[in-house]
Amino acid sequence: MSLDLRKLRYFVALAEHGNFGRAAQQLFIAQPVLSRQIRAFEQELGCTLLNRTTRRVELTAAGHQLHEEAKGILAAVEAGLRRVRDADRGVRRLMVAFAPGLHVSEAIRAFGEHHPEVEIDVVPAHWWEKDLPLRDGRAQVGFLRRPFDDTGLSMVSIGREPRVACLPTSHHLASRQELTLADLEGEPVLDTPTRRRTTSAEEKFELIASGHGIALVPLSVARTYSRPDLTHIPVTDVPAEETCLVAPTTTREPLVLAFLDIATTALRGD
């Protein structure tokens, strides 16, 4: 079965808006057209993607799974088309993924001094996908935090980063200088298997500030998203997270190898 990318984009827009009218507006098509396309897509896939009500639509289990898969599929297609256009124009480009809170700008500047002819773009590697940009073609190299699935990937260790507890300033532990996991026992910790999963750092910290939980995050993330109604406190018995440069083991691209060499020196401060 071939995948209709146009219908997939329609589905993603609908999944993100939860409403046929708003999704159709974004797509610049009529609402009945969108509805017909989605029903045709369900028939092609042989499964129900949506539970429809008079006010909004809700994703089924299959719909949720397709929404997750679709983001990677569409990103990979866009990355492939960009490489085609670059080849046509003779452009040399390096795509660098980076985890939230990690700053790869110093490495990019150092690389640019040696290779000013290369265009460099950056790709956020969100917490729920980590190594995926390196696997679906969106990036050739990444500056990431472990753990992630390292199958087929080569890594260069850069350092270790402590994790801190991020709390609202009104929290009863907010005045402490340091904490242990025992101090946090019973606290609702976001983004754990039994608690609410967030889809962005902004959502995570908004929920924390409004009293809907706390989070254990790398120190650089807490500093990046610093705000007056939040505080972060070291947790002394939580293992630090390793930061590393990552590239596919099979890569032989001279630009990637050169970036790894230059970035390792720049990021380690050697």
- pLDDT digit string (tens) for 184-227? 999 988 877 666 567 678 888 999 999 989 999 999 999 998 99
In a domain, 147, yes or no: no
Alpha carbon distance 212, 224 (integer Å): 21
Q: Are residues 138 and 188 in the same domain?
A: no
Hey, which bits of the chain come out as E strands?
A: 50-52, 57-59, 93-98, 119-124, 141-145, 153-161, 163-168, 215-218, 230-234, 241-248
DSSP structure string for 214-243: BEEEEHHHHHHT--TTEEEEEBTTSPPEEE
- Which pLDDT value is given to residue 195? 62
In this structure, is residue 259 part of a structural domain? yes
Is residue 158 domain-resident? no
Select from 147, 150, 86 the least CA-distant residue to 119.
Answer: 86
Per-residue pLDDT, 245:
96
Q: Please tell me the total count of domains within the chain.
A: 3
What is d(CA 173, CA 224) in angstroms, rounded to the nearest whole number?
22
Query: Do 172 and 111 lie in a common domain?
Result: no
User: Do 129 and 178 share a domain, yes or no?
Assistant: no
Residues 49 and 175 in one domain: no
Cβ atoms of 212 and 188 within 8 Å: the answer is yes
Same domain for 168 and 230, yes or no, is yes
Give the pLDDT confidence score for residue 161 in this predicted structure. 94
In a domain, 240, yes or no: no
What pLDDT sits at residue 191? Answer: 77
Tokens encoding 139:
């990036």
Specify the pLDDT at position 21.
86
Q: Is the pLDDT of residue 259 over 90?
A: yes
- Give, in order, the Cα–Cα distances in Å from 103 to each of 12, 132, 135, 233: 30, 19, 21, 21
β-pairing verdict for 241-248 and 153-161: antiparallel
Specify the range with the lowest mean pLDDT, choosing from 200-204, 225-229, 230-234, 244-248: 200-204
pLDDT for the residue numbered 270? 63
pLDDT tens sequence across 17-29? 888 888 888 888 9
Question: Do 10 and 52 have their domain in common?
Answer: yes
My answer on whether 229 and 257 are in the same domain is: no
Give a yes or no: residue 242 inside a domain. Answer: no
In a domain, 59, yes or no: yes
Residue 82 lies in a domain: no
| 97 in the same domain as 57 | no
CATH number, domain of 43, equals: 1.10.10.10
* pLDDT value at 10 more than 80: yes
Residue span of the structural domain in which 181 resides: 163-234
Can you point out the beta strands (E) in 28-104?
50-52, 57-59, 93-98
Tokens representing 83? 């490489």
The answer to whether residues 254 and 225 belong to one domain is no
| Backbone angles phi and psi of 107, in degrees to 5 | -65, -40
Global pTM exceeds 0.75: no
In-domain check, residue 83: no
Q: Are residues 45 and 104 in the same domain?
A: no
Other C-beta atoms closer than 10 Å to the C-beta of 169 total: 12
pLDDT over 70, % of the chain: 96
The span from the CA of 92 to the CA of 83, in Å, is 9
3-class state of residue 108 by DSSP: helix
**What is the distance in angstroms between the CA of the first residue and the CA of the last residue of the chain?**
52
Q: Kindly state the helix (H) or strand (E) to which residue 38 belongs, with its residue range.
A: helix 31-45
In tens, the pLDDT along 104-162 reads: 999 999 999 999 999 899 988 877 778 888 988 889 999 999 999 899 999 999 999 99
- Please indicate, yes or no, whether residues 135 and 173 belong to a single structural domain of this protein: no
Q: Do 29 and 66 belong to one domain?
A: yes
